[in-house]
């Protein structure tokens, strides 16, 4: 699904010029995605203020074990990870959000001998999340929040590297799974090109498990994930003047065995037409036709090792949660 590979707008959230620019991009992506023979919408648009709140609720559901596995591994192995990186390092986190999961790791790195004051660069598109991140983590690190895209933020942060300092880049929560596999490889190569020998990447990845267990994580019985997915149509209504009738669509989660991914779709319950004023677009749906909204790729351990080699990294360490199969992978550059 081509829309799953993304970089966010280059303008900063909160800039007066950013709003029309981001709206134009939203309009363009909606127009292109819904005109395709197999309709799709970009997964990044799931995360407006309401969508982000709903996703936060999803992470607390008993069926969704990914976030808790990620946090357990970081808590249990923070010291192990800190011992495997250079004694003096700055930390860059891609898609940090509020940085909740990162505290244990920052504490372990900051406590290392000869570390000195620890600089931390959280990168996210949400200015509100970064403000909270800075407030919550400023007691253990010198926080430099960057309201930018992943690669633009990387460029800013790497430009501030001090002499003799290594960089540790964090890409947690299996965000790499939102990329189509060939584009994930290309993105990792882009990261590699921004780094130097001695630098490291800590990347989280959700592992393949029983399909039933994965499916219920993306289609919980309380309906929170369904509300999260349907909110994308609600966002189009609110921001782009759409007239989607949300009750005429339903959330679906599917396991694609061939590509090893969970797909989220919105299924039209009936033949219908929706109009989006800002895009000057009428969209016709057949009953049972879907809009593909998100992919979440799952990995095998040997596949992750192969990706590291393919993109110019060396596997330095790997930690696996057994309660919810999930891997933290430390890759270095020699």
Assign 12 a pLDDT band (cuts: 50, 70, 90): very low
H/E stretch holding 55: helix 49-58
At 64, give phi and psi (nearest 5°). Answer: -105, 90
pLDDT per residue as tens digits for the range 299-319: 999 999 999 999 999 999 999
CB atoms near residue 171 (< 10 Å): 21
How many other C-beta atoms lie within 10 A of the C-beta of residue 332?
Answer: 21
Top mean-pLDDT range of 94-103, 145-154, 306-315 = 306-315
Segment 150-170 mean pLDDT:
95
Query: Span 85-101, mean pLDDT?
Result: 91
Confidence of residue 20 (pLDDT cuts 50, 70, 90): low
Tokens, residue 280: 């000057």
The pLDDT score that the predictor gives to residue 18 is: 44
Average pLDDT over residues 222-246: 98
The pLDDT of residue 128: 84
Rounded distance between C-alpha atoms, residue 131 and residue 24, angstroms: 26
Query: 278-288 pLDDT, tens per residue?
Result: 999 999 999 99
Residue-wise burial string across 30-56, b where 16 or more C-beta atoms lie within 10 A, e elsewhere: bbebbeeeebbbbbbbbbeeebbebbe
List CB contacts of 149: < 8 A, sequence separation 6 or more.
7, 8, 9, 10, 123, 125
**Cα distance between residue 329 and residue 2, in whole Å:** 26
Q: Percent of the chain at pLDDT above 70?
A: 93
In contact, 218 and 296? CB cutoff 8 Å: yes
**pLDDT greater at residue 12 or residue 146:** 146
pLDDT score for 13 = 36
Q: For 27-51, how does the pLDDT look when each residue is reduced to its tens digit (9 = 90+)?
A: 999 999 999 999 999 998 998 889 9
The C-alpha atoms of residue 12 and residue 17 are separated, in whole angstroms, by: 9
Q: Which domains are seen in the chain, by residue range? A: 2-63+225-297 (no CATH), 66-208+299-332 (3.40.50.150)
Order of strands across the sheet that contains 261-268:
249-256, 261-268, 290-297
Which pLDDT score, from 0 to 100, does residue 220 have? Answer: 97
pLDDT digits (tens, 9 = 90+) for 51-82: 988 998 999 999 999 999 999 999 999 999 99
Q: What confidence category does residue 194 fall into, taking pLDDT thresholds of 50, 70 and 90? A: very high
pLDDT at 86: 86
Residue of higher predicted confidence among 125 and 206? 206
Angle subtended at Cα 188 by Cα 325 and Cα 201, rounded to the nearest 5 degrees:
65
pLDDT at 112 over 50: yes
């Amino acid at each position: 699904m081509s829309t799953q590979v993304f970089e966010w707008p280059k303008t900063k959230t909160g800039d007066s010029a950013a709003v029309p620019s981001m709206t134009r991009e939203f309009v363009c992506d909606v127009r292109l995605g819904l005109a395709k023979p197999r309709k799709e919408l970009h997964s990044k648009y799931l995360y407006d203020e309401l969508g982000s709140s709903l996703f936060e609720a999803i992470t607390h559901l008993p069926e969704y074990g990914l976030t808790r596995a990620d946090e357990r591994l970081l808590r249990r192995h923070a010291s192990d990870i800190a011992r495997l990186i250079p004694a003096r390092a700055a930390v860059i986190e891609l898609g940090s959000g509020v940085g909740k999961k990162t505290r244990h790791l920052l504490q372990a790195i900051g406590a290392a001998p000869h570390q000195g004051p620890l600089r931390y660069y959280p990168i996210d598109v949400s200015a509100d999340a970064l403000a909270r991140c800075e407030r919550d983590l400023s007691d253990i690190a010198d926080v430099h929040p960057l309201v930018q895209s992943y690669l633009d933020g990387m460029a800013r942060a790497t430009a501030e590297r001090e002499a003799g300092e290594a960089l540790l880049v964090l890409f947690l929560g299996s965000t790499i799974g939102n990329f189509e596999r060939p584009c994930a490889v290309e993105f990792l190569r882009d990261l590699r090109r921004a780094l130097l020998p001695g630098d490291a990447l800590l990347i989280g990845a959700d592992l393949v498990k029983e399909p039933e267990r994965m499916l219920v994580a993306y289609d919980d019985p309380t309906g929170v994930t369904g509300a999260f997915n349907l909110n994308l149509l609600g966002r189009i209504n609110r921001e782009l003047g759409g007239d989607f009738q949300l009750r005429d669509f339903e959330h679906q989660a599917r396991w694609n065995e061939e590509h090893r991914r969970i797909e989220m779709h919105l299924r039209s319950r009936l033949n219908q037409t929706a109009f989006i004023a800002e895009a000057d677009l009428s969209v016709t749906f057949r009953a049972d036709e879907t809009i593909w909204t998100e992919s979440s790729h799952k990995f095998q351990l040997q596949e992750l090792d192969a990706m590291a080699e393919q993109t110019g990294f060396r596997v330095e360490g790997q930690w696996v949660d057994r309660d919810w199969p999930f891997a933290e992978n430390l890759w270095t550059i020699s």
